[in-house]
Each structure stands twice: as structure tokens, then as C-alpha cells.
A and B are shown apart, each in its own frame.
Chain A
């Protein structure tokens, strides 16, 4: 009886701590404003980034030269995104409020990917201008 109680409480706490931990990684990117340039490049016209944009944005980010400091972050957020996606699909018909919540969270993941892409593009530009300057 005690073991069952401990198990249930532990699993509830585990879910909460895991989600909060992932969200703390995402939180930093939430403060960053996306540049006009990245909106044009990716076709993100409105202020909000769609939940389903994550994979596309990550693929675009992978095409850019790596800054070397965001690869692990993208991987962790990718795991979180896929977990949310699975929960969202499983609960869409049974508990719509949970599905809505996962959509909001996935939008956060997509915004994170957009920020990573923005940083990588500006890094590529810096590299390019550095090389041009060296040749001149």
C-alpha cells in the first residue's frame, strides 16, 4: 500500500519536474525577439510561430554552419517536442484541454528553433563578412 502510494506520487512529481526542466531550457529563447530577416526567410508572417513549424525550422537550422553551442539544446528540445506531440495525439479526443496545452508548449519549442535558426544565420553572415574582409 505504501509502495503504491509512493509510486503514484513519484510519477506525478516526475512528470511535473521533467516538464518544468525542459521549459526552463526553453525559457531563455522566449525572451528573444525574432529578426525581420528570419521572418522573411521562413515565411513566419505573424508574431506567433506555429506548433508544427518545429521540424521545418530545425531542418533549416541544420543547413547553416553550427555555432557549436546549441546542438545539445536542439536535441533536448527535440525530445521534449516529440513527447508533447505524442501526448497531444493521444489526448486530442479524450482530454482536449491537455491537447491544447501541448500545442502551446510545442509553439514554444518552435519559437526556440526559430531563435536557433536566427542565431545561426547571423553567425553565417559574420563568418562571410570576416572572410570577405580577410580577402580584401
Chain B
């Protein structure tokens, strides 16, 4: 959330990478099979374009852009939950537990919304909406991180060997942990936002589509690598 050439360059890179992932998927005729990823990428692409338009029309410092940024960010995080559910379903494909995974994820989301509401209602009476949108952002990212960590644990436990899936999940883990950490740091030290933290979210926004574009391009669908082997080498 910042003006200038830096954010423009990062937005252009993000938009190109997001478009590339969708085009890759269409080219491999996998668009419908990977629909959550493609919908997320298309939505992220639209949000990126919308950010540029919003800043152009209302200005970077406007309240409109502030709301646009935080609400679309939360919306994208919700879409990302769909992607995580998709990964869980891929992992548990043979166990026929998709329905339970979906229900658990929806319950977790509702619990996160309720928890964020309680925290904000307890802390402040004024500026309620602003506080809520920041709190929900931090908590959604954190829940995303927890879900991704559990997914990684499941990959290890089930000896998952699809290298592409392993790399996609690891890239997602980097994205959620860095985003949750940035939000939390911003909450702890609000004064650091303008001089330092504002440079991080655009970079993180670009990281995921770039990492996924790399995985879809470089790692063949049939490539195999035991997730456990990565951890074994770490010890």
C-alpha cells in the first residue's frame, strides 16, 4: 500500500505472474482441475489492477483506498482458504473426507471472525471498523499459516511424493508466515509502518504468483520427491 515507482513495478510483476499462472493452467488444459488456484489468481489480478485505478482516482492517502486495500486483502485471504482446502482434498483424495475438510475450514473461519470481533469490541469503542479490518487481516493470515502448517505435517505423515504439490504448499507457507508476521509486527509497532513495513506487503503479494509460476513451469506433474526427505536433510 504505497505510491511511487516501487509499488508500480511490484504490481506489474505480480499481475504478469498471476496472468502467467492462469495461462499456464489453460495451456495444460488444467483450468477446471485447479479452479481454486485459477480463481484466486484471477481475483488477485483484478485486485492489482483495481489498486492502481483506486490510487489514480482517489489518491494513496484517501480513506477509500485504505478500505479498498484492507477489504480486498481479506477477501483474497478468504479465497486462499479455498485453495488450501483444495490442497487438503488433493492430499486426502483417496480417503473420501472432502466434506469434513470443508466443514472444518468453514467452522475455523467463523471462529476467526468471531474471535476478531471479540478482540476489537473489547479493546476500543471508537474507530471500530478500522480496528476490525486490521485485526481480521492478522488473524486470517495466522489461521492460514496454521492450516498450511497442518497441511505440511499431513504431507509428511502420508509420505506425499508429488513434488509439485510439495513445492506449492511450501511457497504458500512462506507467504502466510511472512504476511502474518508483517501484520503482527505492524500491530506491535504501528510507528514502523510508514518508514519500513509498507514495502513488504507488495513484495509478498508478488512472491506467491512468482513461486507458483516457477513451480508450474519447472516442476513436471509426474516429478516425485518425498516430503520427508527434505526434513531428513535438515537434521
Contacts and interface: CB of A to CB of B under 8 A. Distances in A.
A interface SS class: helix
Given A6-B184, A23-B234, A24-B225, A14 B142 contact: no
B74 interface: no
B177 A20 contact: no
B interface SS class: helix
Contact of A3 (B138, B149, B166, B173): B138
Interface of A: 2-4, 6-7, 9-11, 13-14, 16-21, 23-25, 27-28, 69, 72-73, 101, 104, 108
B181 A21 contact: no
B205 to A, nearest CB: 16
Given A7-B185, A10-B177, A28-B225, A17 B170 contact: yes
A25 B187 CA distance: 34
Contacts of B173: 13, 16-17, 20-21
Given A13-B176, A17-B173, A24-B230, 14 more contacts: A2-B119, A6-B184, A7-B185, A10-B145, A13-B149, A14-B178, A17-B148, A17-B152, A18-B174, A19-B234, A21-B170, A21-B171, A27-B225, A27-B230
Interface size classification for chain B: 20 to 34
A14 B177 contact: yes
B204 to A, nearest CB: 11
B167 A24 contact: yes
Contacts, number: 83
B211 A21 contact: yes
Contacts of B152: 17
Contacts of B145: 9-10, 13
A9 B167 CA distance: 21
B174 A14 contact: yes
A10 B171 contact: no
25 contacts: A4-B188, A6-B138, A7-B181, A7-B184, A9-B145, A9-B180, A10-B145, A10-B184, A13-B145, A13-B173, A13-B176, A14-B181, A17-B152, A17-B170, A17-B177, A20-B170, A21-B211, A23-B233, A27-B163, A28-B163, A28-B225, A72-B214, A73-B218, A104-B233, A108-B233
Interface in B146-175: 148-149, 152, 163, 166-167, 170-171, 173-174
Contacts of B188: 3-4, 7
B209 to A, nearest CB: 15
Interface in B168-203: 170-171, 173-174, 176-178, 180-181, 183-185, 187-188
Contacts of A20: 170, 173, 230-231, 234
A16 B235 CA distance: 12
A24 B177 contact: no
B138 to A, nearest CB: 7
Nearest to A108: B233
A21 B177 CA distance: 13
A7 B225 CA distance: 31
A74 to B, nearest CB: 13
A122 to B, nearest CB: 20
